[in-house]
Protein backbone atom coordinates (compact mmCIF):
# COMPACT_ATOMS: atom_id res chain seq x y z
CA UNK A 1 0.00 0.00 0.00
CA UNK A 2 1.28 3.37 -1.02
CA UNK A 3 3.04 5.41 1.64
CA UNK A 4 2.86 2.83 4.43
CA UNK A 5 6.17 1.02 4.79
CA UNK A 6 4.94 -1.21 7.63
CA UNK A 7 2.51 -2.97 5.30
CA UNK A 8 3.88 -5.42 2.77
CA UNK A 9 0.97 -5.83 0.36
CA UNK A 10 -2.79 -5.89 -0.05
CA UNK A 11 -4.00 -9.44 0.49
CA UNK A 12 -7.76 -8.95 0.00
CA UNK A 13 -9.16 -5.91 -1.81
CA UNK A 14 -12.12 -3.85 -0.66
CA UNK A 15 -14.13 -5.10 -3.66
CA UNK A 16 -13.38 -8.74 -2.82
CA UNK A 17 -14.41 -8.13 0.81
CA UNK A 18 -17.70 -6.56 -0.25
CA UNK A 19 -18.53 -9.41 -2.63
CA UNK A 20 -17.67 -12.14 -0.15
CA UNK A 21 -19.59 -10.52 2.72
CA UNK A 22 -22.67 -10.46 0.45
CA UNK A 23 -22.21 -14.19 -0.23
CA UNK A 24 -21.87 -14.93 3.48
CA UNK A 25 -25.05 -12.97 4.20
CA UNK A 26 -26.94 -14.98 1.57
CA UNK A 27 -25.73 -18.25 3.12
CA UNK A 28 -26.71 -17.14 6.64
CA UNK A 29 -30.13 -15.95 5.44
CA UNK A 30 -30.70 -19.27 3.64
CA UNK A 31 -29.68 -21.31 6.70
CA UNK A 32 -31.81 -19.40 9.21
CA UNK A 33 -35.30 -20.38 8.13
CA UNK A 34 -37.01 -19.63 11.42
CA UNK A 35 -39.51 -16.93 12.38
CA UNK A 36 -37.38 -16.29 15.46
CA UNK A 37 -34.84 -13.48 15.27
CA UNK A 38 -31.26 -14.39 14.54
CA UNK A 39 -28.78 -13.25 17.18
CA UNK A 40 -25.48 -11.97 15.82
CA UNK A 41 -22.77 -11.72 18.47
CA UNK A 42 -19.71 -9.80 17.31
CA UNK A 43 -16.35 -9.95 19.02
CA UNK A 44 -14.95 -6.50 19.77
CA UNK A 45 -12.96 -4.75 18.61
CA UNK A 46 -11.94 -6.58 15.45
CA UNK A 47 -15.30 -7.74 14.09
CA UNK A 48 -17.30 -4.52 14.25
CA UNK A 49 -16.70 -3.42 10.64
CA UNK A 50 -17.36 -6.95 9.38
CA UNK A 51 -20.58 -7.10 11.45
CA UNK A 52 -21.83 -3.74 10.15
CA UNK A 53 -21.32 -4.78 6.53
CA UNK A 54 -22.73 -8.26 7.18
CA UNK A 55 -25.86 -6.80 8.81
CA UNK A 56 -26.58 -4.56 5.83
CA UNK A 57 -25.90 -7.43 3.43
CA UNK A 58 -28.31 -9.65 5.41
CA UNK A 59 -31.05 -7.07 4.96
CA UNK A 60 -30.36 -6.82 1.21
CA UNK A 61 -30.47 -10.64 1.02
CA UNK A 62 -33.94 -10.68 2.60
CA UNK A 63 -32.56 -12.23 5.74
CA UNK A 64 -34.30 -12.73 9.06
CA UNK A 65 -34.91 -10.19 11.78
CA UNK A 66 -31.63 -9.73 13.60
CA UNK A 67 -30.68 -8.79 17.12
CA UNK A 68 -27.13 -7.52 17.64
CA UNK A 69 -24.87 -8.14 20.59
CA UNK A 70 -21.24 -7.38 21.30
CA UNK A 71 -18.82 -9.22 23.51
CA UNK A 72 -15.30 -8.14 24.37
CA UNK A 73 -12.74 -10.88 24.72
CA UNK A 74 -9.27 -10.26 26.08
CA UNK A 75 -6.58 -12.70 25.02
CA UNK A 76 -4.03 -10.71 23.08
CA UNK A 77 -3.76 -7.36 24.81
CA UNK A 78 -1.05 -5.41 23.03
CA UNK A 79 1.25 -8.43 22.86
CA UNK A 80 1.44 -10.84 19.97
CA UNK A 81 0.81 -14.57 19.99
CA UNK A 82 3.72 -16.93 20.50
CA UNK A 83 4.47 -19.84 18.18
CA UNK A 84 4.78 -22.31 21.05
CA UNK A 85 1.55 -21.43 22.88
CA UNK A 86 -0.50 -24.26 24.28
CA UNK A 87 -3.35 -22.31 25.86
CA UNK A 88 -4.55 -18.83 26.69
CA UNK A 89 -6.99 -17.53 29.24
CA UNK A 90 -9.96 -15.73 27.70
CA UNK A 91 -11.70 -13.02 29.72
CA UNK A 92 -15.15 -12.00 28.50
CA UNK A 93 -17.17 -8.83 29.02
CA UNK A 94 -20.74 -8.26 27.91
CA UNK A 95 -21.96 -11.83 27.46
CA UNK A 96 -25.57 -11.33 26.27
CA UNK A 97 -28.37 -12.91 28.29
CA UNK A 98 -30.96 -12.33 25.54
CA UNK A 99 -29.62 -15.29 23.52
CA UNK A 100 -31.02 -17.94 25.89
CA UNK A 101 -32.73 -20.64 23.83
CA UNK A 102 -31.79 -18.95 20.54
CA UNK A 103 -29.56 -19.64 17.58
CA UNK A 104 -26.49 -17.43 17.61
CA UNK A 105 -24.06 -16.60 14.84
CA UNK A 106 -20.76 -15.68 16.47
CA UNK A 107 -19.08 -13.14 14.19
CA UNK A 108 -15.29 -12.92 14.44
CA UNK A 109 -12.63 -11.21 12.37
CA UNK A 110 -10.08 -14.03 12.31
CA UNK A 111 -9.74 -17.63 13.42
CA UNK A 112 -6.09 -17.87 14.42
CA UNK A 113 -5.13 -20.23 17.22
CA UNK A 114 -8.77 -20.57 18.29
CA UNK A 115 -8.57 -19.69 21.98
CA UNK A 116 -10.92 -16.71 21.70
CA UNK A 117 -13.60 -18.42 19.61
CA UNK A 118 -13.56 -21.56 21.73
CA UNK A 119 -13.92 -19.53 24.93
CA UNK A 120 -16.77 -17.40 23.63
CA UNK A 121 -18.63 -20.32 22.04
CA UNK A 122 -18.43 -22.25 25.32
CA UNK A 123 -19.68 -19.24 27.31
CA UNK A 124 -22.57 -18.63 24.91
CA UNK A 125 -23.69 -22.25 25.20
CA UNK A 126 -22.95 -22.94 28.87
CA UNK A 127 -23.40 -19.57 30.56
CA UNK A 128 -25.75 -17.60 28.27
CA UNK A 129 -27.86 -20.64 27.33
CA UNK A 130 -27.82 -20.33 23.55
CA UNK A 131 -29.49 -23.26 21.78
CA UNK A 132 -26.87 -23.34 19.01
CA UNK A 133 -23.79 -21.33 18.08
CA UNK A 134 -22.67 -21.07 14.48
CA UNK A 135 -19.26 -19.61 13.73
CA UNK A 136 -18.80 -16.93 11.07
CA UNK A 137 -15.21 -15.84 10.56
CA UNK A 138 -14.01 -13.34 8.02
CA UNK A 139 -10.54 -14.90 7.90
CA UNK A 140 -9.49 -18.48 8.60
CA UNK A 141 -5.73 -18.49 9.13
CA UNK A 142 -3.88 -21.65 8.15
CA UNK A 143 -1.19 -22.02 10.80
CA UNK A 144 2.19 -23.29 9.61
CA UNK A 145 3.33 -25.06 12.77
CA UNK A 146 0.70 -25.09 15.53
CA UNK A 147 1.42 -26.80 18.81
CA UNK A 148 -0.43 -30.12 19.24
CA UNK A 149 -2.83 -28.39 21.63
CA UNK A 150 -3.64 -25.66 19.12
CA UNK A 151 -4.00 -28.21 16.30
CA UNK A 152 -6.56 -30.16 18.37
CA UNK A 153 -8.43 -26.99 19.27
CA UNK A 154 -8.55 -25.89 15.64
CA UNK A 155 -9.94 -29.29 14.60
CA UNK A 156 -12.81 -28.74 17.04
CA UNK A 157 -13.53 -25.26 15.64
CA UNK A 158 -14.86 -25.76 12.13
CA UNK A 159 -16.50 -22.48 11.10
CA UNK A 160 -19.94 -22.62 9.51
CA UNK A 161 -19.18 -19.55 7.40
CA UNK A 162 -15.72 -18.49 6.21
CA UNK A 163 -14.90 -15.38 4.24
CA UNK A 164 -11.35 -16.15 3.17
CA UNK A 165 -8.54 -18.56 4.00
CA UNK A 166 -5.30 -16.71 4.65
CA UNK A 167 -1.69 -17.78 5.17
CA UNK A 168 0.06 -17.70 8.54
CA UNK A 169 1.04 -14.04 8.29
CA UNK A 170 0.17 -10.99 10.30
CA UNK A 171 -2.74 -9.21 8.66
CA UNK A 172 -4.56 -5.96 9.37
CA UNK A 173 -7.35 -3.79 8.04
CA UNK A 174 -11.15 -3.99 7.84
CA UNK A 175 -11.34 -4.01 11.64
CA UNK A 176 -8.23 -6.10 12.32
CA UNK A 177 -5.35 -4.35 14.02
CA UNK A 178 -1.74 -4.71 14.91
CA UNK A 179 -1.04 -2.87 18.17
CA UNK A 180 -4.32 -0.91 17.69
CA UNK A 181 -3.33 0.38 14.24
CA UNK A 182 -4.78 -0.15 10.74
CA UNK A 183 -8.37 -1.05 11.74
CA UNK A 184 -9.71 1.62 9.38
CA UNK A 185 -8.12 0.27 6.20
CA UNK A 186 -10.81 -0.72 3.64
CA UNK A 187 -8.84 -3.85 2.68
CA UNK A 188 -6.84 -6.63 4.35
CA UNK A 189 -3.08 -6.10 4.19
CA UNK A 190 -0.08 -8.23 5.07
CA UNK A 191 1.92 -6.58 7.85
CA UNK A 192 5.70 -6.48 8.01
CA UNK A 193 6.12 -8.31 11.31
CA UNK A 194 9.62 -6.98 11.91
CA UNK A 195 8.18 -3.47 12.28
CA UNK A 196 6.25 -4.56 15.39
CA UNK A 197 8.59 -6.93 17.20
Domains of the chain: 15-168 (3.40.50.2020)
Give the pLDDT of residue 151. Answer: 93
Q: Is 161 helix (H, G, I), strand (E, B) or coil?
A: strand
pLDDT at 77: 40
Q: Which residues pair with 67 in a beta bridge?
A: 39
pLDDT of residue 21: 99
CA dihedral defined by 129, 132, 73, 166, rounded to 10 degrees?
170
Q: Report the distance separating Cα 159 and Cα 134, nearest Å.
A: 7
Cα angle: 125, vertex 126, 127; to 5 degrees: 105
**Would you state the pLDDT for residue 126?**
96
pLDDT at 193: 85
Best CA proximity match to 63, nearest among 107, 28, 23: 28
pLDDT mean for each 10 residues of the chain (197 residues): 87 98 98 91 95 96 93 64 60 89 96 93 96 97 92 94 97 95 96 85
Burial class (CB in 10 A: 0-12, 13-18, 19+), 3: exposed
Could you tell me which residues come within 8 angstroms of residue 82 by beta carbon, excluding any fewer than 6 positions away?
none
**Sheet of 188-191, strand order:** 7-12, 188-191, 171-172
pLDDT for 90 = 76
Task: Say which residues have a Cβ less than 8 Å from residue 91's Cβ, sequence separation at least 6.
Answer: 73, 74, 75
- Which residues carry out catalysis? 112
Q: What is the pTM of this model?
A: 0.90
Amino acid sequence: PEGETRLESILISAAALEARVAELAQAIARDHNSPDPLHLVAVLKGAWIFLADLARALRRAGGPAVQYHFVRATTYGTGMKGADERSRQVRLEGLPSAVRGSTVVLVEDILDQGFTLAGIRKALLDDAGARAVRLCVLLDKHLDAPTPEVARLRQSLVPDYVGFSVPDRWVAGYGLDVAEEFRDLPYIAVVREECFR
